[in-house]
């Protein structure tokens, strides 16, 4: 069955870490990444670090075939570089309908003051490429001979895998609040980033979905423009040790405390069946590297229980450090209840 991994806030919740963990733990036969190369996912595994923006974070499991569904966009330079760096060329595939961003769209976007300054775009040409696709002028994967060997009917492959009883992991990019439709327009990205949006990019029906895991970080960050409720000034953020930089652009991220009200709405409308919380160790130093729930500091456990009580959805995956395996996995305990 399908598991959808969805960002709950403004992106950068740690989806790459959670996806890499699920890939190693659940061994999906297929994993797809949605979206495009504007979104950076960081994977740190046993001392190695990758900043990935084209391929699924499930590349960490050599048994998982990794791909891009029809609604995704890619950039060939970035894609081939990542396939080589991760040694995953032989298990990569993409749908013929994937949109291809060329240097032209990157340049057009970077010259667009509205996108770059008002919206705060990452300048990767994604919005320009997507708009050309809407106008039916964009070149797709099927137009590029160098992609020929990778072309696969992705919706059909996903359905076949599910029908064989295999697991398929869909890694969303960005977050609910950056959705073109559901975020604070115009301070959003150029696609629908919600659970239903990422499923539509894959192109299979909802009956194949079993789990919707919404990922929240233990605090909220935002890069680019747009409102951020409860935003801390840089001095406060530094005092609390909550300083992060963008994976793609290196920009300093804006910071706010965990937003329960927002999390509740996002859990509800995405139909979350599970919640993942990352960077618990950034709020509770004693949580660092803990992998069993009972070993967490009392305050950290109390905070997780409060979230679970408010969201009314089980918190199943808790991130406690930067390594893929720095995780408390409560799914078994939930299943046994």
Site for ligand IMP in 170-189 (CB under 6 A): 173-174, 178, 187, 189
Q: Does residue 76 sit in helix, strand or coil? A: helix
Ordered alpha helix ranges (H), 164-297 = 195-202, 234-239, 260-270, 280-283
Cis peptide before 250 (omega within 30 of 0): no
**% helix / strand / coil in the chain, to the nearest 5?**
40, 20, 40
Q: Candidates 8-16, 69-77, 269-277, 318-326 — which segment interacts with Mg ion by CB under 5 A?
A: 8-16
Site map for ligand IMP, 35-64, x if CB under 6 A? ---xxx------------------------
**CB-wise, 188 or 272, nearer to ligand IMP?**
188
The C-alpha atoms of residue 212 and residue 108 are separated, in whole angstroms, by 36
Residue 223 within binding range of ligand IMP, rule CB under 6 A = yes
**CB-wise, 120 or 297, nearer to ligand IMP?**
120
**Of Mg ion, ligand IMP, none, which one does residue 126 interact with (CB within 5 to 8 Å by kind)?**
ligand IMP
**CB-wise, 116 or 151, nearer to ligand IMP?**
116
Site map for ligand IMP, 92-131, x if CB under 6 A? -----------------------x---xxxx-x-xx----
Site for Mg ion in 21-60 (CB under 5 A): 40
Site for Mg ion in 192-251 (CB under 5 A): 247
Joined together, the tokens standing for residue 238 give 């530094």
Around 287, how many Cα atoms within 13 Å sit in the side-chain half-sphere? 26
The C-alpha atoms of residue 186 and residue 178 are separated, in whole angstroms, by 9
Around 105, how many Cα atoms within 13 Å sit in the side-chain half-sphere? 25
Q: How many CB atoms lie within 10 A of CB 151?
A: 16
Which residues here bind ligand IMP, judged by CB under 6 A? 10-12, 38-40, 115, 119-122, 124, 126-127, 173-174, 178, 187, 189-190, 223-224
Which residues here bind Mg ion, judged by CB under 5 A? 12, 40, 247
């Amino acid at each position: 069955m399908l598991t959808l991994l969805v960002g709950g806030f403004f992106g950068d919740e740690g989806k790459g870490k959670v996806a890499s963990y699920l890939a190693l733990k659940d061994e999906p036969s297929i994993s797809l990444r949605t979206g495009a190369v504007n979104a950076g996912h960081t994977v740190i595994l046993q001392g190695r670090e990758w900043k990935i923006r084209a391929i699924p974070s499930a590349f960490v499991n050599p048994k998982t075939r990794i791909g891009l569904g029809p609604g995704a966009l890619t950039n060939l330079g970035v894609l081939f570089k990542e396939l080589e760096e991760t040694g995953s060329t032989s298990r990569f595939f993409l749908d013929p309908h994937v949109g291809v961003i060329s240097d032209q769209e990157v340049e057009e976007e970077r010259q667009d003051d509205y996108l770059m300054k008002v919206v705060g775009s990452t300048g990767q040409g994604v919005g320009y490429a997507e708009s050309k696709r809407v106008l039916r002028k964009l070149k797709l994967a099927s137009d590029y001979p160098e992609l020929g060997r990778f072309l696969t009917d992705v919706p059909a492959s996903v359905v076949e895998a599910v029908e064989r009883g295999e697991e398929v992991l869909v890694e969303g990019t960005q977050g609910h609040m950056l959705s073109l439709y559901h975020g604070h327009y115009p301070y959003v990205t150029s696609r629908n980033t919600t659970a239903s949006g990422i499923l539509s990019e894959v192109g299979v029906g909802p009956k194949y979905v079993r789990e919707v895991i919404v990922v929240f970080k233990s605090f909220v960050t935002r890069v680019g423009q747009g409102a951020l409720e409860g935003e801390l000034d840089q001095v406060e953020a530094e005092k609390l040790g909550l300083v992060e930089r963008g994976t793609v652009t290196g920009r300093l991220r804006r910071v706010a405390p965990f937003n329960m009200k927002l999390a509740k709405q996002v859990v509800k409308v995405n139909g979350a069946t599970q919640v993942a919380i990352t960077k618990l160790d950034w709020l509770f130093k004693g949580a660092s590297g803990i992998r069993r729930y009972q070993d967490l500091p009392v305050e950290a456990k109390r905070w997780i229980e409060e979230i679970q009580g408010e969201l009314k959805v089980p918190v199943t995956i808790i991130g406690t450090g930067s390594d893929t395996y720095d995780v408390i996995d409560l799914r078994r305990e939930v299943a046994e209840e």
